[in-house]
Chain A
Amino acid sequence: MEDLLKARDSVNQWMERFGVRFGVYKNGVFNEQLFPFDAIPRQIPADEWAMLEKGLIQRVKALNMFLYDIYHDKKIVADGVVPKEFTYESKGYMPECEGITPTHNIYAHIAGIDLVQAKDGRWLILEDNLRIPSGASYPMIARKVTRKAAPQTFRDNLIADNRNYGDMLREMMDYINDGRGINVILTPGRYNSAFFEHSYLAEQTGATLAFPGDMVVENGIVYYVGLYNQKERVGAIYRRVSDEYLDPLAFEPSSLLGVPNLMEAYRAGNVGVINALGNGVADDKGIYYFVPKMVKYYLNEEPILHNAPTYLPFFKEDFDYIINNVSKLVIKDVAEAGGYGVMFGRDMTPERLEEVKQLIIKEPRRWIAQEVVDFIDLDIIDETGKPSPRKCDLRAFVISGKETKVWKSGLTRFSRNPNSFVVNSSQGGGFKDTWVME
């Protein structure tokens, strides 16, 4: 792996050349930044991957069944496995999706499941992202570049190829499209933080990159409008616009990012939307607690992958535990994402701890508490050129089309500072390639 480590500057230059960036707004000003790449890969041995793969497929299958159930039969709530407070009263639940059956009953076509590996070697699920998980393009293009820059490394190691992500997406999009028209990736525009990814995935899948205003709905059919008003039917939309902005006539009226009346075309079954609308009900921090129960309920199987130990103040027993142990727990706001609303008890003053307790007492449904997991650090090469340990997570990408498959790679993110536990890219930090060994 020596040549790879030596080539790390040239790898970063290549990525710059390919425009591998993400946008950030700082004080209202848009800026593009490189997403720093660290050359030391995360390596996952074949047997460990086989277990992860099975567990991830199981989890995503259960989540898809849950979403179907929530918007149709509602059995899991009627059977008392998941309370209505965490489903029908959740912010992520969308009554507008009631009774809609997405093409082939799939909701979470692209699931980004965040995991960490504990010091004892166990993999734990941190979070499910079922709306618009991003990040796959980075390891994909990093691999392209590193293979070029350090050929010997790739000759010496048996690493599963991860450059097939575009093909996996395309295959899934074609399945959802059902031959109805063209595939489209809908981006909010070039000032979106993940615009590089939108344009790169469009190139890699052969889909048309659509901007707001490029599509219209007429007689229930979605069209992409070309030059001189020539129209082409759209069969599947991989949208990178969130639910509430997707159709100004159904949701947020001020949205300029959506396609007016898309919801009606979708309800009529004339277009596939990837991911489905309404998935938020299955991926907030509150419902996370119940996912292992879903696996048992829908698949009648024991969950292969486990959650980080989690407590819900909503339940009396957990509530008492949390109040007595706040100082050693992590408290998370159910409604927040991207590393925001996360509080570590051990970093708090006694006054702050008391405040947090009061917050929990006041709104038990709003918070979850987790044990601090001591997870494995991975080395990065820091600014001084020396190895330095960092907290890392892994976002695995699970694609559900005709079959449910796990992409043999993933996005390994690391924290910017050695002491930080937050690895979200919007909070600084960088990424590594993830090698699945064969």
Chain B
Amino acid sequence: MILSANTCNRLFWLGRYAERGYLFLHLMRKAYDEVLDVPVGETPVYSDFLKKLDVYIEGSLDTSYQIMDQLYNPETVTSLRSIIEYMMDNAIVLRTEIRTESFSYIEMCRDLIRVKSIQKDSNITNLQPITDALLAFWGSIQERVYGRARTFLMLGKMIEHIDMNIRFDYKHYRIEEAMGVLEKFIEDEPALVDKVIIAKLRAMVVDKEAYEKYDPEYKDKMLNYLNCLVVV
């Protein structure tokens, strides 16, 4: 089936947002857990979490407000609500490529996040169905989407995965592993990525010592390369 450039672009971004939504919840849960071991009143865990998502708070941090904002505020671009709305914006025009079945999991995520936004539910475990639906979405993609459509979805997923791993200072071997999977994946269609950029990115990933300094500038440079990798 022939796909327009626009469609490929949307598939790519659907893949990215679906992965971002999944990892966002995963990392948020981790932050929730870490908070338990920090004395009340000191909450570096959240400000660190937000910083990694490029959210900088001026002045003192109102933790409970920030959590609600990052979960449900549709005006906050980094919020889970926004991620899911963007995911839907892409999915809605891709019904023929991903099929109604896969589409329905995205729809479920959106319905749930809208309901939870209205309820202002601060119990993050109640968002587990979103995680479930996102995993089911990827399962459904594996089950029924082939060819280029799948390629672009997976490409988006992999790039977002590396992106988030870098942001959240995952261990070096995790980045290297993820990068290896991506490179293996594009072997069949090398034209989809910029050759020069992937070489530069690879060089940065390989340099374990440099990466493990977790230097913000080094990370930003890697993220920049990563974000201009795919040629659509």
Task: Identify the A interface with B (CB < 8 A).
Answer: 16-19, 182, 190, 195, 199-200, 202-203, 207-211, 213-214, 224-228, 230, 232
Contact = CB atoms under 8 A, between A and B. Distances in A.
A287 to B, nearest CB: 36
A103 to B, nearest CB: 22
Contacts of B96: 199, 202-203, 207-209
Given A199-B96, A227-B8, A17 B3 contact: no
Contacts of A207: 96
A230 B108 CA distance: 35
A302 to B, nearest CB: 44
Contact of B6 (A18, A202, A211): A211
Contact of B103 (A18, A210, A225): A18
Given A17-B107, A18-B100, A18-B107, A208 B95 contact: no
Contact of A19 (B1, B8, B107, B148): B107
A19 B2 contact: no
A16 B6 contact: no
Interface residues of B, number: 21
A19 B108 contact: no
Given A17-B107, A200-B95, A203-B100, A228 B2 contact: no
Given A202-B96, A227-B148, A19 B103 contact: yes
Contacts of B107: 16-19
Given A17-B104, A19-B104, A19-B107, A226 B95 contact: no
B205 interface: no
Interface of B: 1-6, 8, 92-93, 95-96, 99-100, 103-104, 107-108, 111, 148, 191, 232
A202 B93 CA distance: 11
Nearest to A187: B93
A143 to B, nearest CB: 14
A211 B3 CA distance: 11
Contact of A203 (B92, B95, B148): B95
Contacts of A16: 107, 111
Nearest to A234: B2
Contact of B2 (A182, A199, A200): A182
A17 B105 CA distance: 8
Given A16-B107, A190-B92, A226-B5, 6 more contacts: A17-B104, A19-B103, A199-B96, A209-B93, A209-B95, A230-B2
A227 B103 contact: no
A282 B100 CA distance: 36
Contacts of A200: 95, 100
A19 B6 CA distance: 22
Given A203-B100, A227-B232, A19 B5 contact: no
Contacts of A211: 4, 6, 93
A227 B4 contact: yes
B102 to A, nearest CB: 11
